[in-house]
Structure 1
């Protein structure tokens, strides 16, 4: 098992950085998956901005264009409804410089439900400390709602995300709403659409043509030893990166 984990991590790290092309550290709609109690898992989040802004979003930040982001995520099943996880954030900018941006921890809850049919819900609380490359505020938090429904071969899910800074003078609470619709082509393969929508400050939501909004065509496949979520995203607003490619490779043990 140790050899399997080592080979998985090294392979993912060696293969994906060669793209050297950033978006958020994880581009995924949270679902009802949890590690079994007493078991570990790891996801390797990768994304590259193929076409985006050449300018940094704030002084000290990194320009998105041709930036590659690598985020290993480790998680552990505490109970049948609770999972503890953590992220290590890293990027490689267009000039080839690598940066470690910080770390985050999360606690995910999923209510008991039928895993194959019907409604599911839960929540994920995340707290992290990052440097200036990732955010102008070092301490930040996010509360993510998780809701979805399965019927036949179709799956629908939505994540309302409330983000705020834990640092002094960090600004207002903001709202993002992410969602997905997926169709099961085979027992191991799904295709679908994922939407990621920034709506601005919670007390003053902005027009739909403002902030970043991106639509992804996504593929999910279970290879047995590991699973894959891959997608190509198209920015729908001027604030969004124009084209983004993402890969998430995961395994459990």
Structure 2
């Protein structure tokens, strides 16, 4: 006796149309599974690049909550690499400027993947040093938890102690020159090291009521010793955009850094944005956040694992026009960032024939 076919096959054999329909459904299911597999693979390869965008969006979300901006980057009906921004029609003009500036700065960040500069952690203000005034500043930074080992000839920052002396002299109302001496009094397993020096001219532009920001421009040329940067010399171009509205303070520094001598000389400029948002809680205390990032070259974003994002809680103490006091605690937001950083800036203005405060 011929063996009987299974029940499901008996039905298909007895009806050729049904057999073809069954085969068509099977082929359709296999095609859908193949497409889903390809989609998952494609998303996996893109997660590094898009992860950087998600991180930047999260920082923007925090800032924009302060100013009333609604950001919906994870909407199911909108691609993940776009932002849906809803502006309130009657918000003050400054808040609209703040929101647009934060979004542009966060979405356009791109700089080379290198060890983060932890010798001068500062968001520059618009105002230059007054003519005839010389300002001495000490930048003190300590990294209790950071990168370890040696990578590309650069020491890890873990438990490093940095001390930088900055001397700035005002020549005119709109021009100053700064000079930096950078040292590392303690590098684990190495000891004390002289790390380099910088020179920095800076110009401030006249204020225009029609433009929402006060603008100045800094040029800084750095000479760095081996072990603290992969490049020996570099040029930093730093535009400064500052705005004050009532108690609210905002400064944006979208840095461009160009290596001029070293293995990266001739490569695309680095874009190292940082910004500061502060609030005058009292006449003498302004506190808020400072943000610093390195995320890839201007031509190409790096994977999230190679980026640096650090967020500081910081405060300025305005005890006197002659003193500058800034203190902060920073937390790295990505794996390669220094996880914890303590910083302090203590400065004093010496007036010899210059403008009175």
TM-score (norm 2): 0.61
Aligned residues: 228
Per the alignment, residue 191 of structure 1 pairs with 287
Q: Is residue 268 of structure 2 the alignment partner of residue 175 of structure 1? A: no
Per-residue CA shift, 1:220-248, capped at 9, x if unaligned? 00232522111000000011000000000
8 Å contact from structure 2 (residues 286, 317) kept in 1: yes
Distance 1:141 1:184, change over 3 A: same
8 Å contact from structure 2 (residues 215, 242) kept in 1: yes
8 Å contact from structure 1 (residues 23, 69) kept in 2: no
3-state SS in 2 of match to 1:78: strand
In proportion to residue count, which structure has more strand? Answer: 1
Per-residue CA shift, 1:32-65, capped at 9, x if unaligned? 1321112100110011111112212322x22210
Structure 1 CA distance for aligned equivalents of residues 262 and 121 of structure 2:
27
Pairing partner for 2:166 from 52, 60, 73: 73
Pairing partner for 2:326 from 225, 229, 235: 229
Pairing partner for 2:338 from 211, 234, 241: 241
3-state SS in 1 of match to 2:261: coil
Alignment of 1:1-253 (within 5 A): 24-59=118-153, 61-91=154-184, 92-95=186-189, 97-113=191-207, 119-167=213-261, 169-171=263-265, 172=267, 173-206=269-302, 210-224=306-320, 225-253=322-350
8 Å contact from structure 1 (residues 233, 244) kept in 2: yes
Structure 2 CA distance for aligned equivalents of residues 45 and 63 of structure 1:
19
Structure 1 CA distance for aligned equivalents of residues 117 and 236 of structure 2:
17
Distance 1:209 1:192, change over 3 A: farther
8 Å contact from structure 1 (residues 23, 47) kept in 2: no
Per-residue deviation, 1:168: 5.5
Q: Which is higher, the Rg of structure 1 or of structure 2?
A: 2
Structure 1 CA distance for aligned equivalents of residues 303 and 226 of structure 2:
28
Structure 1 CA distance for aligned equivalents of residues 310 and 242 of structure 2:
20
Per-residue CA shift, 1:86-128, capped at 9, x if unaligned? 10010021347110011100011111238xxx62111110002
Distance 1:111 1:40, change over 3 A: same
Distance 1:190 1:98, change over 3 A: same
3-state SS in 2 of match to 1:100: strand
Note the residue ranges of structure 2 that are not aligned, 5 or more in a row: 1-115, 351-357
TM-score (norm 1): 0.85
